[in-house]
Amino acid sequence: MATQRYSVTPHPIETLLTWVKSGEIAIPEIQRPFVWEATKVRNLLDSLYQGYPVGYLIAWRNPTVKLKDGTPSVGKRILIDGQQRVTALMAALLGREVLTKDYETARIRIAFHPLEERFEVANPAIRKDVSWIEDVAEVFVPEASLTELTDTYSEKNPAADRKRVSRVLEKLRKITNNHVGVIELAEELDIETVTEIFIRVNSAGAELSQADFAMSKIAVNETYGGNLLRKAIDYFCHLAVAPEFLSRIEKNDRAFAASEFLPQIRWLKDTNDGIYDPTYTDLLRVAFTSEFGRGRLQDLVALLSGRNFETKQFEEAVAEESFGKLKKGILAFINKTHFDRITMILRSAGFVTNNLVGGRNAVNFAYILYLRGRTEGMAAADLERLVRRWYAMSILRGRYTGSPETAFDLDIRQIEARGPANYAESVIENELPDSFWIGMLPQLMDTSSGQSPYFLAYQAAQVKLGDKGFLSRDITVRDLLMNRSDEHHVFPKKRLKAQGLSRGRYNQIANLVLAQSEINIAIGDKPPEKYFGELADQCNGGKQKYGGITDIDEMRANLRMNCVPETMIDGDIPDYDAFLDERRRLMSQKIKTWFEAL
């Protein structure tokens, strides 16, 4: 029979809130955006009021580690499931502000109607209606008197039964006496098991991961500055998206503003690049893998807990060293020069907008490769070329799409053993032989996904190679992507639909070209034989209908740039399937030309 690995103890909500305020139980997510909708907070209060169960919380005590003097240190409890519920209770009952998904601090006000015994999210209409208490937090202020609350409500609502109002408000006040079961995981459980439990219990709610658990571990460690490190990660990711948030950090978080980290991220206030807006998972992965030479985040959790992989013991010295290394990795990630370089490398490869940057983990590993190459003292131009080519290879081969941690672990260990340049070049050569461009890539391009890595690479190729938009004399693909472009169907969608073709067939990426809106609109749903005939006339002194090209050689060059068979201008219009085959072949060759130019 399996040994039970946890104990279950009921605790009043009031006790939990006291623990949180005193730091006995750590809710690291309090610094992170609160993802619940206000209606969910309302439903939680209603469930408590009705006496319904609201699920268990799961806590785990950090493992006991050996201090430098050999004495054991018992860790804090970490709340590993139930963070959103406890945050909701603190917001609604204690009136605490939360950080919204848009990184704005906000109060969630839940109103209560004593006569109808009903909760609602406060809104302007409720605020004007005296039959509502517009914010239940007023009822839970420690110094609030039940008599005074009843008197105030009865004065505003003279027709209300005073005794009933008093009973209802007392019932509301008592919801903090309701018990919630706290599942305490056994202290002796290893990190891997706790991580597995953490991910399993959370899989039904918001998707949580090894990175979430690592962030929890970092946040609760004040000895080695984990709490500030955690904020540096969150604030960097936040400022990358919303630079204006800086003034709020300076005003509201004096401790962080006075730390060494704020000067390191202040530069983000002047950026609106947006090509690579990392999440905390991205930042952790890059910092950890580049600095520790490992690819699995559960190893980070173990190391931060003080796990000595050789002795299998927990040692304070290991935890201290691991926090030091992680800090070094994070400082390298958030360094302005480094961050500017990785985004410049992406842009120089043709990925000029964030819409073109697919495969987040491919970008992450490109950054890791860049940081390792820098550490090894590679010449800047050689390193930039290597990183460009590695990123292109990664997206074309889907290197980090399946199980990224396994791929990260393999690649970083090989880089450690063989050096960045040697290893990366050998992988690129193996992954992209001549047969890839001729045989495999055209087949892979048989897709209708606009976010397909092959279509993104094709557009980047057009940018890098300076191509003009379809039928444009002056406007480049770069201009179109940076401003506004239409995806024009060479064989019009409407006609293909009318022939009974499915969405997956008429939206093939090989049927799409980037064009100016006015050109796309002018062509409309004319069949190619008609509008290509008109294009031939346009180059022969006829009416100018589509774009500004009037020279036949220039028109042929434009079709070549856009991988459209130039025989179409001579009236040789293939059937749809033959067109797709030929265009996939031409697009593959363009991607190859691009890759060789990186």
Q: What angle do CA 502, 504, 508 make, to 5 degrees?
A: 120
Are 209 and 200 in contact, with CB atoms under 8 Å apart?
no
pLDDT, mean over the chain:
88
CA distances from 549 to 471, 511, 533, 544, 557 (A): 7, 21, 14, 8, 10
pLDDT band with cut points at 50, 70 and 90 for residue 199:
low
Are 510 and 450 in contact, with CB atoms under 8 Å apart?
no
pLDDT in tens, 544-587: 999 999 999 999 999 999 999 999 999 999 999 999 999 999 99
Residue identified by tokens 């039970």 is 4
Residue type, 152: T
pLDDT in tens, 38-61: 899 999 999 999 998 888 888 877
Write down the pLDDT at residue 212. 76
pLDDT band with cut points at 50, 70 and 90 for residue 94:
confident
Write down the pLDDT at residue 552. 95
DSSP state of 467: P
pLDDT band with cut points at 50, 70 and 90 for residue 298:
confident
Write down the pLDDT at residue 30. 41
Are 476 and 468 in contact, with CB atoms under 8 Å apart?
yes
pLDDT in tens, 229-286: 988 998 999 899 888 888 888 887 888 899 999 999 999 988 877 789 998 899 999 9
% of the chain beyond a pLDDT of 70: 91
Count helices and strands in the chain by DSSP H and E runs: 30, 13
pLDDT at 67 over 50: no
Write down the pLDDT at residue 26. 64
CA distances from 147 to 150, 166, 389, 517 (A): 5, 7, 73, 68
Write down the pLDDT at residue 192. 64
Helix-helix angle 380-397:336-348, to 10 degrees: 60
pLDDT at 406 over 80: yes
| Choice among 173-187, 191-205, 563-577 with the minimum mean pLDDT | 191-205
pLDDT band with cut points at 50, 70 and 90 for residue 76:
low
Write down the pLDDT at residue 219. 78
- How many Å apart are CA 43 and CA 48, to the nearest integer? 9
- How many Å apart are CA 463 and CA 353, to the nearest integer? 11
Write down the pLDDT at residue 69. 53
Mean pLDDT of 169-195: 82
Write down the pLDDT at residue 297. 86
Q: Domain segments of the chain: what residues? A: 110-168, 337-432, 444-597
| Choice among 107-111, 341-345, 447-451 with the minimum mean pLDDT | 447-451
pLDDT band with cut points at 50, 70 and 90 for residue 375:
very high
pTM above 0.75, yes or no: yes
Structure tokens at 396: 């074309």
DSSP secondary structure letters along 487-544: EEESS-HHHHHHTT--HHHHT-GGGEEEE-HHHHHHHTT--HHHHHHHHHHHTTT---
Write down the pLDDT at residue 117. 95
Q: Which of 106-110, 294-298, 357-361, 430-434 has the highest mean pLDDT?
A: 430-434
Q: What phi and psi, each to the nearest 5 degrees, are found at residue 211?
A: -65, -40
pLDDT band with cut points at 50, 70 and 90 for residue 209:
low
Helix-helix angle 13-22:83-94, to 10 degrees: 90
Write down the pLDDT at residue 438. 94
Regarding beta strands 512-515 and 486-489, do their DSSP bridges make them parallel or antiparallel, or are they unpaired?
Answer: antiparallel
Q: Which of 4-13, 23-32, 400-409 has the highest mean pLDDT?
A: 400-409
DSSP secondary structure letters along 279-328: -HHHHHHHHHHHHHS---HHHHHHHHTTB-TTT--BBHHHHHHHHHHHHH
- How many Å apart are CA 261 and CA 233, to the nearest integer? 10
- How many Å apart are CA 6 and CA 74, to the nearest integer? 17
Write down the pLDDT at residue 529. 93
- How many Å apart are CA 122 and CA 95, to the nearest integer? 13
pLDDT at 3 over 70: no
pLDDT in tens, 352-367: 998 899 778 999 999 9
Residue identified by tokens 């100016």 is 516
